[in-house]
Structure 1
């Protein structure tokens, strides 16, 4: 039986029908209405159909936070194809892997800059992929193309297409998006998300943030749109409720604050390092009172938010950061802190409507004990992916009876609120004792000299692993590494405190702003 369509492109087309002249995207001096954005997406859909793209085909996209990303994303969906968003930092060999693994038939790529030649890597990766037949270069408007060959100009070919298109109907269980996991172990895997997975997650804003199309929010888009968090919470979530997106191609704290002031931003979402950056960028030149007066929602996800950043942000902005939790495999939102309620610092909240969560052991058995018991989070509901593309064995390992195992360790309090302890793979085992890095990081963040910290395990001959803290100090602090280790020794159990402390100027970050711990070992 053909089930009703929930083609994700509806979040755009429905708002374009209701609010055609409302601003959909603001980028620099450019303002794009819903009517214009929908027309641009229709041109992309017509282009794809003219090149033989069929419903169910995969189409890849490499583009930073630019209006092009959004019009192409929805154009692919309108044509009945599935979007494969790629990290803009991928090199040619990695691009070729993703195109081949996803069976992509067409590929759109932004040209980039001399510092980040996205288009060159994309073009080389495309040429190394046997079955991807269409390549469209989104030109940056700078210097002429300096790479090999002559890729087709996106601007030239899309301009020839009609601005009307009848959206291809899709079953709600058809694949809408294939999101590739980070691939910290083995090759990256493509999480296949159904139309209903992505659509229902976008519509969750009603319950999570009291989103209301009659009083639309203005969203600052600093999270990369190729990632699930930015794609769902900002792009799709904004359009589902007729909101306006102010785009920043790459997060930079001072310019982000300026955009928030210039456009009266009411909704900000970011990873913890972004909040850390905003707080560090505040000075006497920033009208914090006006920022705080405008800001309605501050949402955080991607990794654990230190309690100290939570407190500082609330003190300065008067807004409680709502922590959420999810993964690419869960579209991504699985839980969120309830809007309008007093915060529980450190909690990722409760499961969103239509989603269940529980704690399990390695053998999938459920943990039903007290608040101090730690287990792996398992998730079930409308948000859980179809599976890993072309990987039935990996899917079977991850999903059992509709439950998806996350790899994240947590505890649950008596009211059903969840608290992430750590990634199971990040847990340190020192002398037979389990050490959870986040707990140590929270303590170290209380030291007046610590600006940011990452705790990791390093090899040790007798203990197996030793606890190491890699710290970014606050400017002007004279605290030594030995003094910080001694300070932590007074506040943590003997097996937990970091014997090794290293000061660094900065911590390595992923393209989504998460601390890249594997580069610190």
Structure 2
């Protein structure tokens, strides 16, 4: 038997009175989180939820997320975390596609409970009451329905190979697909990350990554609970608030996507709270993932805050961590690091053949963290899984020491006049210009060249650089065919709820 909820229950036995999670002025100890999770499990069992049934949750980073998440697992059910930015039709799609029988959503999220109303097969709705929320008429609140539920230990047995969590991909092409992750996938991935971060019981995590996403779930919620650390939750990422929390809460562990680090730098450089001395005095580990980290952002963060960033790599389908730049050896700027314990990587071509040494290829990964497959989509699963190997869609190179370097997403490749152009190389070049704050490069249709290279640029405050000057900069540092012909300046670039740049919205 194996159940992901052990990440909570073990620490609740060892450290019952320690603060497990904190949000603003509210907090819960490990004992309190475990007891509330037991009540959630008993509620689900009373409602007829059986082992293997799917239970969805739409909830931001608030105190109620961990007990609901682990309570679903304790009931032997499958957690289906949904993006908090989904609209009514999208909520209905995810509930229907996952076959969810019950749904927890936060008070005030009308899109969520209306999406539930559009999904007759989803039988039970419970609204998570948080301070300041507005309750729809006639809908039971979590606090009300848990009052009569026992808080004693409960755990419905599950097997290691049973599905624990279904994570929906972002759906950049077609409808989002649900990746089925087992208890073994998620437990082993969380445990494998602990030595990478040299995790400690006295660590304090600042959790700005949304907990509905694999990065925040595994690296901070599951791994943080397994280590007995304390988690400080921010329901919405704000760089000034994050800097202040790091200093005042004594945060030792921060994880974020590259745009979060860019936002922290922008806030500090424009007179935001926090200083290099403040952060370096408390922050022990800074981890980046979710997208390629520009070397310029890594370098500037070290200069401004005195803290180095360690980059890793993973996907929802891999639970997520696959590689990491370990703390116990020198990191390599621009590299996603080495494979973690239990994971194998190779670089392949379109026909699954391994590419020659030194050549770029698509990352394929095999190991304990690779998903079972996409829920209800055998053809889509067969496209990406072969003999245990999962094709990631990311193009990378490997150096002589085994370190991997992301080149770009395969789908983002630009073919200009017959030449392959990787946007990330151009983005790194533009980011090295002192007037550039952030950039995204895409291919746009062109009658003559097939595709043309276009850069969307956010200037640094006070900068007056022109598009022609930036094109000239690229031509000085890159082959002529790689240099953008089009530059558009923006005050902001589109990002999803996890902070990833949404290039599809620029096309």
Q: Which residue of 1 aligns with 2:357?
A: 370
Query: Would you say the 8 A contact 2:313–2:336 is kept in 1?
Result: yes
Query: Would you say the 8 A contact 1:45–1:78 is kept in 2?
Result: yes
Q: Which residue of 2 aligns with 1:75?
A: 71
Tell me how many residue pairs correspond in the alignment: 505
Once residues 423 and 315 of structure 2 are traced to their aligned partners in structure 1, the CA distance between those partners, rounded to angstroms, is 20
> How many Å apart are 1:285 and its aligned residue?
5.1
SS in 1 for 2:219: helix
Distance 1:212 1:139, change over 3 A: closer
Distance 1:13 1:284, change over 3 A: closer
> How many Å apart are 1:130 and its aligned residue?
2.4
Once residues 419 and 274 of structure 1 are traced to their aligned partners in structure 2, the CA distance between those partners, rounded to angstroms, is 21
Gaps of 5+ in 1: 113-117
Q: Which residue of 1 aligns with 2:463?
A: 477
Within the alignment, does 1:132 sit opposite 2:128 as a pair? no
Within the alignment, does 1:515 sit opposite 2:505 as a pair? no
Once residues 100 and 274 of structure 2 are traced to their aligned partners in structure 1, the CA distance between those partners, rounded to angstroms, is 46
Once residues 158 and 258 of structure 1 are traced to their aligned partners in structure 2, the CA distance between those partners, rounded to angstroms, is 35
Query: Would you say the 8 A contact 1:192–1:387 is kept in 2?
Result: yes
Q: Pick from 43, 52, 77 the counterpart of residue 56 of structure 1.
A: 52
Q: Pick from 35, 43, 47 the counterpart of residue 43 of structure 2.
A: 47
Q: Which residue of 1 aligns with 2:308?
A: 320
Query: Would you say the 8 A contact 2:275–2:305 is kept in 1?
Result: no
Query: Would you say the 8 A contact 1:45–1:165 is kept in 2?
Result: no
Cα deviation, 1:378-431, whole Å, max 9, x if unaligned, reads 000000001111111111111100000000100111111110101000011100
The TM-score, its normalising length taken from structure 1, stands at 0.95
The TM-score, its normalising length taken from structure 2, stands at 0.98
Once residues 429 and 328 of structure 2 are traced to their aligned partners in structure 1, the CA distance between those partners, rounded to angstroms, is 28
Gaps of 5+ in 2: none
SS in 1 for 2:481: coil
Query: Would you say the 8 A contact 2:107–2:133 is kept in 1?
Result: no
1:274-289 superposed matches below 5 A: 274-282=260-268, 283=271, 286-289=274-277
Q: Which residue of 1 aligns with 2:140?
A: 152
Cα deviation, 1:316-338, whole Å, max 9, x if unaligned, reads 33332111111000000111112
Q: Which residue of 2 aligns with 1:459?
A: 445
> How many Å apart are 1:143 and its aligned residue?
5.9
SS in 2 for 1:358: strand
Within the alignment, does 1:207 sit opposite 2:195 as a pair? yes
Cα deviation, 1:331-353, whole Å, max 9, x if unaligned, reads 00111112132221110001100
Within the alignment, does 1:385 sit opposite 2:381 as a pair? no
1:151-230 superposed matches below 5 A: 151-213=139-201, 216-230=202-216
> How many Å apart are 1:492 and its aligned residue?
1.3
Query: Would you say the 8 A contact 1:62–1:85 is kept in 2?
Result: yes
SS in 2 for 1:204: helix
Query: Would you say the 8 A contact 1:46–1:165 is kept in 2?
Result: no
Once residues 181 and 166 of structure 1 are traced to their aligned partners in structure 2, the CA distance between those partners, rounded to angstroms, is 31
Cα deviation, 1:43-93, whole Å, max 9, x if unaligned, reads 111110110001110000000001111110000000000100000111111
Q: Which residue of 2 aligns with 1:115?
A: none
